[in-house]
Amino acid sequence: MKIYSSYLLEFAVNLRYAKMKIAIVGAGICGLTSAYILSRDGHSVSVFEKEKTLGGLAGSFKDRNWQWSLEKYYHHFFSSDKEVSSLLRQLGLQDKLFFKTPKTSLFIRGKICTFDTPWAVLSFPYLNILEKLRVGLVTGWLKITPFWQHLEKVTAERWLKKYYGKKAYQMLWEPLLKAKFGNKYEGIPASWFWARIKKRTNRLGYLEGGLLTLVESLAAKIKEGSGEIILGAEVKNLNELGDFDKIIVTTSPESFLKIAPDLPKDYKIKIQKLESVGAIALVLCLKEKFLKDDTYWLNINEAEFPFVAVVEHTNFIDRQYYGGDHLLYVGGYYPTNHPFFKMTKEQIYQKFLPFLKKINPDFDFSLFIIHYSLFMNLYAQPLVPLNYSKTLPSLTTPLPNLFFATMHHVYPWDRGVNYAISLGRKVAHELSSQKD
- In the prediction, which pLDDT does 225 show? 85
**CA gap 306, 36 in Å, rounded:** 39
- In the prediction, which pLDDT does 415 show? 86
Let me know if 262 is exposed, middle or buried by CB neighbors in 10 A (0-12, 13-18, 19+): exposed
Alpha helices (H) in 345-435, listed in sequence order:
345-359, 365-368, 417-433
Residues 6+ away with beta carbon under 8 Å from 233 = 48, 49, 50
- In the prediction, which pLDDT does 12 show? 43
The answer to whether 77 and 68 are in contact (CB under 8 A) is: no
* Distance (Å) of CA 387 to CA 141, 197, 259, 382: 21, 19, 29, 14
Confidence label for 5 from pLDDT (cuts 50, 70 and 90)? very low
Domain spanning 2-59+211-274+391-433, CATH class: alpha beta
Find, among 186, 177, 178, the residue nearest to 158 by Cα: 186
Find the mean pLDDT for residues 281-310. Answer: 97
- In the prediction, which pLDDT does 6 show? 43
The answer to whether 330 and 297 are in contact (CB under 8 A) is: no
Find the mean pLDDT for residues 337-359. Answer: 98
* Distance (Å) of CA 23 to CA 38, 45, 56, 263, 428: 11, 6, 17, 18, 12
Out of 8-17, 50-59, 281-290, least confident range: 8-17
- In the prediction, which pLDDT does 133 show? 96
CA dihedral 338, 341, 344, 346 (to 10 degrees): 60
**CA gap 220, 96 in Å, rounded:** 17
- In the prediction, which pLDDT does 18 show? 62
Determine the longest span between alpha carbons in the chain, in angstroms: 90
* Distance (Å) of CA 2 to CA 5, 7, 12, 14: 5, 9, 15, 18
Find the mean pLDDT for residues 176-204. Answer: 94
Give 40-50 pLDDT, tens digit per residue: 999 999 999 99
Q: Where are the domains of the chain?
A: 2-59+211-274+391-433, 117-198
Out of 18-22, 167-171, 202-206, 401-405, least confident range: 18-22
Confidence label for 436 from pLDDT (cuts 50, 70 and 90)? low
**CA gap 44, 225 in Å, rounded:** 8
Category of 155 on φ-ψ map: left (φ > 0), alpha (ψ -120 to 50) or beta: beta
Find the mean pLDDT for residues 235-247. Answer: 95
* Distance (Å) of CA 3 to CA 10, 11, 16: 11, 12, 20
pTM: 0.93
Find the mean pLDDT for residues 401-427. Answer: 96
CA angle 188, 155, 194 (to 5 degrees): 75
Partnered with residue 49 across adjacent β-strands are: 231
3-class secondary structure, 418:
helix
3-class secondary structure, 295:
strand
3-class secondary structure, 396:
strand
**CA gap 127, 108 in Å, rounded:** 12
Residue type at 186? Answer: E
**CA gap 112, 117 in Å, rounded:** 15
